[in-house]
Amino acid sequence: MSRTVKSDSQKLDNVIIETAKGQEFTVGEIKHSNRIQKSVTPKQDLSWYVKWVASVFILGSMSIRGVDGLQQYDLMLSLVGVVGWMWVGFLWKDRSLILINGVGIILFLNTLIRDYLVV
Protein backbone atom coordinates (compact mmCIF):
# COMPACT_ATOMS: atom_id res chain seq x y z
CA MET A 1 0.00 0.00 0.00
CA SER A 2 1.33 3.42 -0.84
CA ARG A 3 -0.05 6.91 -0.73
CA THR A 4 1.22 10.36 -1.47
CA VAL A 5 1.58 12.88 1.34
CA LYS A 6 2.42 16.52 0.69
CA SER A 7 5.87 17.60 1.87
CA ASP A 8 4.38 20.28 4.14
CA SER A 9 2.01 17.76 5.73
CA GLN A 10 2.44 17.00 9.42
CA LYS A 11 0.84 13.53 9.27
CA LEU A 12 4.18 11.69 9.28
CA ASP A 13 6.18 14.12 11.44
CA ASN A 14 5.98 11.86 14.51
CA VAL A 15 7.03 8.64 12.75
CA ILE A 16 10.37 7.42 14.12
CA ILE A 17 13.07 6.25 11.72
CA GLU A 18 16.09 4.29 12.95
CA THR A 19 19.35 4.66 11.03
CA ALA A 20 21.82 1.89 10.31
CA LYS A 21 23.95 3.25 13.16
CA GLY A 22 21.08 2.90 15.62
CA GLN A 23 20.20 6.59 15.85
CA GLU A 24 16.51 7.47 15.99
CA PHE A 25 14.99 10.52 14.32
CA THR A 26 11.43 11.57 13.67
CA VAL A 27 10.40 12.39 10.11
CA GLY A 28 9.67 15.95 11.24
CA GLU A 29 13.14 16.31 12.76
CA ILE A 30 14.79 15.16 9.55
CA LYS A 31 12.53 17.30 7.37
CA HIS A 32 13.08 20.52 9.31
CA SER A 33 16.65 20.04 10.54
CA ASN A 34 19.64 22.14 9.54
CA ARG A 35 21.82 19.92 11.72
CA ILE A 36 21.30 16.56 10.00
CA GLN A 37 23.34 16.28 6.81
CA LYS A 38 21.61 14.63 3.89
CA SER A 39 24.09 13.44 1.24
CA VAL A 40 23.06 14.07 -2.34
CA THR A 41 25.70 11.90 -3.98
CA PRO A 42 24.93 8.25 -4.70
CA LYS A 43 26.44 5.61 -2.41
CA GLN A 44 27.76 2.16 -3.31
CA ASP A 45 27.09 2.47 -7.05
CA LEU A 46 29.65 2.63 -9.87
CA SER A 47 30.20 6.39 -9.53
CA TRP A 48 30.92 6.03 -5.80
CA TYR A 49 33.76 3.58 -6.44
CA VAL A 50 35.16 5.56 -9.40
CA LYS A 51 35.21 8.84 -7.47
CA TRP A 52 37.10 7.30 -4.53
CA VAL A 53 39.65 5.53 -6.72
CA ALA A 54 40.15 8.72 -8.76
CA SER A 55 40.56 10.71 -5.54
CA VAL A 56 43.25 8.29 -4.32
CA PHE A 57 45.15 8.77 -7.59
CA ILE A 58 44.93 12.56 -7.28
CA LEU A 59 46.07 12.45 -3.65
CA GLY A 60 48.94 10.20 -4.68
CA SER A 61 50.01 12.63 -7.38
CA MET A 62 49.79 15.55 -4.96
CA SER A 63 51.97 13.72 -2.45
CA ILE A 64 54.86 13.36 -4.94
CA ARG A 65 54.41 16.68 -6.73
CA GLY A 66 57.51 18.38 -5.31
CA VAL A 67 59.88 15.39 -5.43
CA ASP A 68 62.66 15.71 -8.01
CA GLY A 69 62.59 12.98 -10.64
CA LEU A 70 58.97 11.96 -10.04
CA GLN A 71 57.27 14.57 -12.23
CA GLN A 72 56.33 12.01 -14.88
CA TYR A 73 54.63 9.83 -12.25
CA ASP A 74 52.86 12.91 -10.92
CA LEU A 75 51.51 13.63 -14.40
CA MET A 76 50.37 10.05 -14.97
CA LEU A 77 48.66 9.75 -11.57
CA SER A 78 46.99 13.13 -12.08
CA LEU A 79 45.82 12.11 -15.54
CA VAL A 80 44.28 8.88 -14.24
CA GLY A 81 42.57 10.84 -11.44
CA VAL A 82 41.04 13.49 -13.68
CA VAL A 83 39.93 10.85 -16.20
CA GLY A 84 38.17 9.10 -13.32
CA TRP A 85 36.49 12.30 -12.18
CA MET A 86 35.49 13.07 -15.78
CA TRP A 87 33.82 9.64 -15.90
CA VAL A 88 31.98 10.51 -12.67
CA GLY A 89 30.90 13.79 -14.29
CA PHE A 90 29.38 11.86 -17.18
CA LEU A 91 27.67 9.39 -14.83
CA TRP A 92 26.20 12.26 -12.78
CA LYS A 93 25.53 14.42 -15.87
CA ASP A 94 27.43 17.20 -14.08
CA ARG A 95 28.70 19.71 -16.62
CA SER A 96 31.04 21.47 -14.18
CA LEU A 97 32.89 18.19 -13.42
CA ILE A 98 33.04 17.40 -17.14
CA LEU A 99 34.41 20.86 -17.96
CA ILE A 100 37.07 21.12 -15.25
CA ASN A 101 38.34 17.58 -15.72
CA GLY A 102 38.18 17.81 -19.53
CA VAL A 103 40.44 20.85 -19.39
CA GLY A 104 42.69 19.02 -16.90
CA ILE A 105 42.98 16.04 -19.26
CA ILE A 106 43.99 18.32 -22.13
CA LEU A 107 46.59 20.13 -20.01
CA PHE A 108 48.09 16.94 -18.52
CA LEU A 109 48.21 15.21 -21.92
CA ASN A 110 49.82 18.30 -23.48
CA THR A 111 52.56 18.34 -20.84
CA LEU A 112 53.04 14.56 -20.95
CA ILE A 113 53.38 14.52 -24.75
CA ARG A 114 55.51 17.68 -24.97
CA ASP A 115 57.94 16.87 -22.17
CA TYR A 116 58.20 13.07 -22.21
CA LEU A 117 57.10 11.65 -25.55
CA VAL A 118 58.42 14.14 -28.11
CA VAL A 119 62.17 13.96 -28.42
Per residue in 31-67, pLDDT (tens digit) is 767 666 666 777 889 999 999 999 999 999 999 999 9
Number of structural domains found in the chain: 2
Q: What share of the chain has pLDDT > 70, as a percent? A: 83
CA–CA gap between residue 43 and residue 68 (Å, rounded): 38
State whether 79 and 103 are in the same domain. yes
Closest CA to 93 of 19, 20, 42: 42
State whether 30 and 72 are in the same domain. no
Per-residue pLDDT band at 101 (split at 50, 70, 90): very high
State whether 85 and 103 are in the same domain. yes
State whether 26 and 54 are in the same domain. no
State whether 78 and 102 are in the same domain. yes
State whether 72 and 109 are in the same domain. yes
State whether 93 and 61 are in the same domain. yes
